């Protein structure tokens, strides 16, 4: 999926478009406007790229899946999954990623799974296991 999307540049465009969509969303903007690091867009792009078949840049630089979950863990609050997914799906168009129906379905299935994974650690007493394997997602779902 990484290569089909267009590689690193495509994922950087997707992460930037997604971030912008979230800033424009009245429910998500408080999270994306106040709780993101300066390199968030680049880190998000490298995370998604790695999960979807690209190089292991995120794991090498930031510690992989457990580290990503730790960033989001124990934040509390309500789940904003539907809004998050909607911003991602719209960002696919904004970033001009391929309009292939199978590709789009795979990307949507991934982000729906990923948001559920992150949300499962929002409770204040959540414990993220160390050294979780980096998820890998293919055209057919989890690899």
For 84-91, which contacts have Cβ atoms below 8 Å and span 24 or more sequence positions?
84/22, 84/28, 84/111, 84/115, 85/111, 85/112, 85/115, 87/18, 87/21, 87/22, 87/25, 87/28, 88/18, 88/21, 90/17, 90/21, 91/14, 91/17, 91/18, 91/20, 91/21
Higher-scoring residue by pLDDT: 23, 77: 23
Q: What is the pLDDT of residues 44-77, one digit of tens each?
A: 999 999 999 999 999 999 999 999 999 888 987 7
Q: What is the pLDDT of residues 67-120, one digit of tens each?
A: 999 988 898 777 788 999 999 999 999 999 999 999 999 999 999 999 999 989
pLDDT of 31 > 90? The answer is no
pLDDT of 15 > 60? The answer is yes
Q: Which domains does the chain have, with CATH numbers?
A: 2-142 (1.10.490.10)
Query: How would residue 29 be classed by pLDDT, with cut points 50, 70 and 90?
Result: confident
pLDDT of 132 > 60? The answer is yes
């Amino acid at each position: 999926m990484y290569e089909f999307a267009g590689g690193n540049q495509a994922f950087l465009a997707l992460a930037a478009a997604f971030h912008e969509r979230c800033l424009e969303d009245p429910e998500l903007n408080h999270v994306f406007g106040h709780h993101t690091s300066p390199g968030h867009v680049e880190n998000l792009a490298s995370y998604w790229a790695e999960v979807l078949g690209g190089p292991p840049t995120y794991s090498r630089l930031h510690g992989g899946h457990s580290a990503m979950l730790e960033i989001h863990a124990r934040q509390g609050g309500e789940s904003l999954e539907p809004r998050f997914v909607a911003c991602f799906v719209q960002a696919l168009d904004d970033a001009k990623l391929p309009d292939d129906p199978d590709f789009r379905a795979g990307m949507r299935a991934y982000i729906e799974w990923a948001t559920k994974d992150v949300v499962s650690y929002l409770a204040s007493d959540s414990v993220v296991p160390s050294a979780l394997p980096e998820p890998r997602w293919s055209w057919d779902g989890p690899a």
